[in-house]
Structure 1
């Protein structure tokens, strides 16, 4: 009986994060979502990460389409983004590991990819689908590469960024979007076809 009650409580908690009607998942993609293209190269750091955490990059991930996230769910997203941004110290891989590229779950410090990995894991622990939590590679206005976490939803694609305390729609960020994890396979990556087509007018000012 206690196990049944615990399972019911977990279901209620997950239900608070999402509106899970069949109509939600069959709805067309939002115009505020990234348009992904063909399979592209996997970042070397993620490839090496997958060698260590094989179960997190294995095939078999189900993609029912972006979910309708509730206001409670967005509060969870914002809280995790803010908490991790404040708890971790930004440090380059060179300083931390003595190499240019190394993706890992951070303890107290890490590079942008490490922030992303931890946020993704925390959101999965809170009931979000891995198919809606996609590591994304972008280029900053100064030309430097950067990694952010994309949260897919029926309202569009939102960005969790260690350089910004706010969770923003991807078109409201100053980045050029290059590629991201495939929603159908966490070990594969796809190109982003409209990565610089929807930039807001404030970019570059």
Structure 2
């Protein structure tokens, strides 16, 4: 179940107290710790994402307008909560290997889906709800057990928030246990950029 109190505590615990008053997007300092820093050059696109773009070219075109951050109003926060809960509760998690007999296949969930399918559906619905596409970015991360994972990041004036099918709460990126590897470019969802995540991550030991 989602916990707005936990979210608020995470925000207050960061230097985001400087944003107590809503500021214009141009005034937001995205070099703040609440935002993941990225490389200026593009990097390799995940195989599944590349195939998704080939079959859904209209969803991988450059954004006509690049909005740096979306103001996290109460209405926007409630949209994040509702859409995150909708898919986390209605989609049954199944690996691509079990569902499609391939190692990686990005698509919209059909009642079943892998992590990237949750992220695609959440991104689509938030865009349809009025969020700028450039503020909704699918990211590839590494779990503490070393396995790869995909999440949706919402870039807001309060930081990069993570919508995750493995965790019902919505957290600022650096309040998650993941190592952030790369994400979609804000300018073009068909291109990806490396993320700089220098936080020490404790990798879970494998049981013998």
User: How high is the TM-score relative to the length of structure 2?
Assistant: 0.82
The alignment of Structure 1 onto Structure 2 pairs a total of residues equal to: 182
For 1:31-180, list aligned pairs within 5 A: 31-37=33-39, 38-180=41-183
Partner of 2:25: 24
Contact 1:49 1:103 in 2 (8 A): yes
Give the C-alpha shift of residue 143 in structure 1.
0.2
SS at match of 1:68: coil
Distance across 2 between alignment mates of 1:122 and 1:198: 34
**Any gaps of 5 or more consecutive residues in structure 2?**
1-21
Unaligned runs of 5+ in 1: 1-20
Large movers: runs of 4+ above 3 Å: none
CA distance, structure 2, for counterparts of residue 83 and residue 117 of structure 1: 13
Aligned-CA RMSD value? 2.0
Matched, 1:188 2:195: no
SS, match of residue 190 in structure 2: strand
Could you report, residue by residue, the CA deviation over 1:34-53 in whole angstroms, capped at 9, with x for unpaired residues? 00113110001000000111
Deviation at 1:172, TM superposition (A): 0.7
